[in-house]
Copies of this chain bind each other. A is one copy, B any other.
């Protein structure tokens, strides 16, 4: 396939983003809010333009033999555009983090010290062919006064280009620099790797997509990367669980949207309730392929055996590993060994067991009596989410606007010097 002729170099693109980020340091909260509202309106008033571009992407993808699941993620509709616009309005309404002061104190020397939230600068967002993500990611970055470089999947390039031109109109309508939201017009690996080495111009890389993509980015980048690795999430049903509640939580965690990172992949059941719980849960999960350890297969003889590799598998599909454990300690050990430390939940009526689990399971989100699907920026109060970090540095778990900021130390004195 012949690439569009790139009219700028990779470096120029990054330099424009950097210049836009410097200009954004002086953007007011009102400018940003109104610009994002204008973007939301623009997605609807320019729906035809965006849907036409999307139709070209879909035609090319079908001609290239793209599968139906990927084509579905690539497809925009009027309803999806309305969802995108509603998402932008939500971001516009969020509190502005920039300039917030925290940890202010007067020191014995007489200096006043405070920390002030500031933008990170330029964020490189690398993702797959899901054009509905484009507007959302751009708006969340802008809310924190960051410039964004969007490197979406090649298959969505016409759609992304149309969306970004609409977003740019929103920026310029409020006097903000159009270069604050740019798409990368290069799709070769060399160009991406060149971007991943532009320390000094780009401040943070956020890759979102399959594990291979994220590992490749982390491997090549000399810029800090906030990773969003796989979600191998567990539900543990304890001896003292309300089994009705457990059934609903397991079902929702597994089935409500199996292809997302906070869907649950594996079920651990305390031996004291396995005989009662597993048969009813298997019946409820009749559309799910279960893979069990020996103990669970004694209760459910028809399910296939799980292998050692199953326990760390992220199926993203209607498949679930099942294991009987002796107690909460074995559950915790198993999860800390095999889960991806993303999101794990305990169902129990025993507060001591729950507190033990919440303390000792070393995962970004730990839940008690709630579906793993609740580990989501919207559900936990972030309002919007740019990803779920499986890193421990900077941001862990659901990442919203505030997680896209840094801070500076501001010291105000009256001539203080060091003795």
Contacts and interface: CB of A to CB of B under 8 A. Distances in A.
Nearest to A226: B393
A365 B218 CA distance: 29
Contacts of A172: none
A107 B381 contact: yes
Interface in A356-385: 358-360, 362-371, 373-376, 379-381
A417 B256 contact: yes
Contact of A415 (B26, B105, B120, B370): B370
A376 B414 CA distance: 17
User: A interface, how many residues as a size bin?
Assistant: 35 or more
Interface in A190-233: 203-204, 218-219, 222, 224, 226
Contacts of A189: none
Interface string A322-344: 00000000000000100000000
A362 B121 CA distance: 10
Contact of A113 (B105, B257, B381): B381
Contacts of A253: 417
A398 B406 contact: no
A121 B396 CA distance: 14
Interface stretch (A7-15, A162-170, A242-250, A285-293): A242-250
Contacts of A224: 224, 391, 393
A46 interface: no
A412 B369 CA distance: 6
A93 to B, nearest CB: 15
A392 interface: yes
A187 interface: no
B252 A417 contact: yes
Interface in A399-419: 406-418
Given A107-B381, A407-B396, A413 B367 contact: yes
B375 A411 contact: yes
A25 interface: yes
Nearest to A405: B392
Contacts of A307: none
A302 interface: no
A252 B415 CA distance: 10
Nearest to A199: B218
A371 B218 contact: no
B393 A120 contact: yes
Contact of A218 (B222, B249, B415): B222
Interface in A282-332: none
Contact of A409 (B222, B354, B380): B380
A392 B113 CA distance: 19
A369 B256 contact: no
Interface of A: 22, 25-26, 105, 107, 109, 111, 113, 118, 120-121, 203-204, 218-219, 222, 224, 226, 242, 245, 248-249, 251-253, 256-257, 336, 354, 358-360, 362-371, 373-376, 379-381, 391-394, 396-398, 406-418
3 nearest A-B pairs in the assembled complex, by CB-CB distance: A370-B413, A252-B417, A373-B418
Given A22-B336, A219-B222, A371-B418, 10 more contacts: A109-B379, A120-B393, A204-B393, A248-B417, A253-B417, A354-B412, A367-B411, A369-B415, A369-B416, A370-B411
16 contacts: A22-B336, A107-B379, A107-B381, A111-B380, A203-B393, A219-B222, A224-B224, A245-B415, A363-B408, A365-B410, A366-B409, A370-B411, A370-B415, A374-B416, A393-B394, A397-B409
